[in-house]
Amino acid sequence: KKLIAAAPSLTSVRIPRAGRDAQPVVLSVRNVSKTFRIGRGQNLTAVDDVSFDVERGRTVSIVGESGSGKSTTARIALRLENPSAGSIQFDGTDITTTRGKELRALRRRFQIVYQNPYASLNPSLRVKDIVAEPLVAFGLGTRSTRPDRVAELLDQVALTPEYLERRPAELSGGQRQRVAIARAIALHPELLVLDEPVSALDVSVQAQILALLDRLQNELNLSYLFISHDLAVVRQISDTVLVMRRGQVVETGSAEDIFDNPQHEYTKELRNAVP
Ligand code: ADP
Ligand code: MG
């Protein structure tokens, strides 16, 4: 509670998003469900009939407590996991069953950033090599052949060139997340899934990363699927908010509606947890 009470720095980055023009849909998730077999004859429905659209250049957030199905929904949206039912469209194409080369081609167009950048950054690599990883993976060069691109990516996340030579252990949590974001935008993706990207950070650093994400969205016309258990964070960055509980979407609305005028009892509980 004490920590959250220091949140005024967060509200200072708040950008009003209500009433912005509609944009073309880049990601469309339709009636997606996911059932896991968790034991002999026992099933768990982690995601239950979830539908939403992400418009180009806009942010849809999923908020809900741990275990509500947020990450599974995101992984299905990116085809990192297959749905048990439902469909996914990306840029107008049904990708529910896309495989092989076609799926690999799609992987350039959407990227994911996780909560703990330290876990996803190879500790033995220098920043310049981490940022160049997607270039190498897609045969588009290395940090040696593309030094300008690597420097540009670092600049886009507001890290000075001296960080090129550092390893993850020599960075702060916020700097590591900047490196993870630089890597995520290396291939000019259209959609970023941000799965609890600021949850491991101090509140003041959270505000800096949210401001960075907001700037990059405007500069690069990125679409975000933003995941968080924290309604105070979601409020900063969302156009549309989905409230998930036990695999189901219990309420959908603009960030303003969800925060200022929650309808569902569960949303009110989440809202009341924000000072
Ligand atoms: P959240 O991201 O909201 O914390 P998750 O999507 O990670 O929720 O998980 C939703 C539910 O699905 C949880 O009960 C979790 O234990 C379960 N779950 C997630 N992945 C698997 C899996 N691979 N096998 C079995 N159960 C899983
Ligand atoms: Mg999760």
Q: How far apart are CA 47 and CA 193, in angstroms?
A: 17
- Find out whether the beta carbon of 36 lies less than 6 Å from any atom of ligand 1: yes
Prediction ipTM score: 0.99
Q: How would you write the pLDDT of the chain (275 residues) with one tens digit per residue?
A: 334 434 444 444 445 566 678 889 999 999 999 999 988 889 999 999 999 999 999 999 999 999 999 999 999 999 999 999 999 999 999 999 999 999 999 989 999 998 876 678 999 999 999 999 999 999 999 999 999 999 999 999 999 999 999 999 999 999 999 999 999 999 999 999 999 999 989 999 999 999 999 999 999 999 999 999 999 999 989 999 999 999 999 999 999 999 999 999 999 999 988 87
Q: What DSSP line would sit under the chain, residue for residue?
A: -HHHHTTHHHHTT----TTPPP--EEEEEEEEEEEEEEETTEEEEEEEEEEEEEETT-EEEEE--TTSSHHHHHHHHTTSS--SEEEEEETTEE-TT--HHHHHHHHTTEEEE-S-HHHHS-TTS-HHHHHHHHHHHTTS--TTT-HHHHHHHHHHTT--GGGGG--GGGS-HHHHHHHHHHHHTTT--SEEEEESTTTTS-HHHHHHHHHHHHHHHHHHT-EEEEEES-HHHHHHH-SEEEEEETTEEEEEEEHHHHHHS--SHHHHHHHHT--
Q: Which atom of ligand 1 is nearest to the CA of 47?
A: 10
Distance from the alpha carbon of residue 63 to the mean position of ligand 1, in angstroms: 15
Q: Output the CA torsion sign for 91, 93, 99, 105.
A: negative
Between the two ends of the chain, the Cα-to-Cα distance in Å is 8
* pLDDT for the residue numbered 144: 92
* pLDDT for the residue numbered 118: 63
Distance from the alpha carbon of residue 70 to the mean position of ligand 2, in angstroms: 6
Give the bridge partners for 85, in sequence order: 33
Output the residue whose Cα is nearest ligand 1's atom 17: 46
* pLDDT for the residue numbered 215: 96
- Residue the block writes with tokens 């030579």: 165
- Residue the block writes with tokens 């907001």: 214
pTM score of the predicted model: 0.92
* pLDDT for the residue numbered 96: 97
Distance from the alpha carbon of residue 67 to the mean position of ligand 1, in angstroms: 6
- Find out whether the beta carbon of 67 lies less than 6 Å from any atom of ligand 1: yes
Q: Which atom of ligand 1 is nearest to the CA of 195?
A: 2
Tell me whether strands 25-39 and 42-55 are parallel, antiparallel or unpaired.
Answer: antiparallel
* pLDDT for the residue numbered 18: 62
- Find out whether the beta carbon of 246 lies less than 6 Å from any atom of ligand 1: no
